[in-house]
Amino acid sequence: MEEVVPEQPAAGEPPAGEQNGASAEEAPQSAEPAADEPANSNPVETAAEGPDTDAPEEPARMKARDLLAPSRGAAVAEEVEPEASVKHAEVIAFANQKGGVAKTTTTLNLAVAFKESGYRVLCIDLDPQGNLTMSQGIDPDKVEKSLYDVLVNDMPISEVIQHREIDIAVASIDLAGAEIAMSTKIGRERSLERALSEVSGDYDFVCIDTPPSLGLLTINALTAASKVIVPVQCEYLSMRGLVQLQNTLKMIQENLNPDVKIEGILPTMLDSRTVHAKEAVEILEENFGDLVFRSRIKKAIKFAEAPVKGSSVLKYDSQSNAANYYRELAKEVLANGSS
């Protein structure tokens, strides 16, 4: 009699009793895990039973290029918020290589007139004589830090600013040696421009009083400035220097600061009683036309008295004609800037 051999299941095919799942006896056991064993403790068994909609999906596997750098598409899709623009101060240099033409008087009193109109103003005393510093009651021989340290030793300009009627970066007699000390410095013409970048956002106007020369200190002022106001005494010899100043300014525009321009020529120390003063103004207007300010700064004893008190003429005698001359000039400059 032949021995019957049970039929073996095909490879990969489960036994007959298991084709329709677990047996009835095993079903409740698989449905109810042991009390001391957490449900779905075996992820392999859970996966075999079918997809679990509650289980978190595994993150897609990263590719090598994703680890090295972000894709170009991601970079394009990501929007970068623009930085808030910072308003920078308008820098005005007061220049004329001839001395005694009221540069310092104009720098201080126009700055104070700007402040009266609600603007934040910084004055820079770039003259080794320190007249602007003295006009605010500060002794330039007693200051410990001055613009010399800023230009030569790269000290932050905020350390030499003192607060009076307006903020003022003070001068000392050391400035007389600044040009020699800066002669070997790379980018020496831009020393003041770099220094002002620290405080440019803190002010609306920066007014620079320059020495009566066209040396390195004045070149620093013209390189840092966007506008130049030229005070001119109403005399023939004073006006001759304008040609030389124009030539210097042209070289600055070509090599250092293409944006600087003459804001206007200001007739100062005008004595309207003399024929010579009237002729001088007519010569200015014939040669420079609209560049000549309509405002006129007439002679007044108040301009000599105010510095003795360490103040501007607008503070010394607020209601005087001398103070009103600079208020009118401030209106004209502001009107030109807004047009």
Domains of the chain by start residue, with CATH: 90-338 (3.40.50.300)
What is the Cα–Cα distance from 155 to 191, expressed in whole angstroms? 11
Phi-psi region of 136 (alpha: psi -120 to 50; beta: other; left: phi over 0): alpha
pLDDT at res. 244: 84
Among 180, 178, 137, 118, which residue's Cα sits nearest to residue 154? 178
Name the token pair of 266.
């200001």
Return the structure tokens found at 137: 């009651």
Supply the pLDDT for residue 60.
Answer: 61
- What's the pLDDT score for residue 73? 46
Note the pTM of the prediction, 2 decimals. 0.74
* Alpha carbon distance 267, 238 (integer Å): 10
For residue 281, the one-letter residue type is V
DSSP H helices, 214-312, are 216-224, 236-255, 275-288, 302-308
Q: What is the rounded CA–CA span in Å between residue 97 and residue 81?
A: 48
Half-sphere exposure of 134 (CA within 13 A, CB side): 15
Nearest to 329 by CA among 123, 94, 17: 94
pLDDT along the chain (339 residues), means of 10: 51 49 45 48 48 56 52 46 66 93 96 97 96 96 95 96 97 94 94 96 97 94 96 82 87 95 95 88 90 95 95 96 97 86
What is the pLDDT, as a whole number, of residue 27? Answer: 45
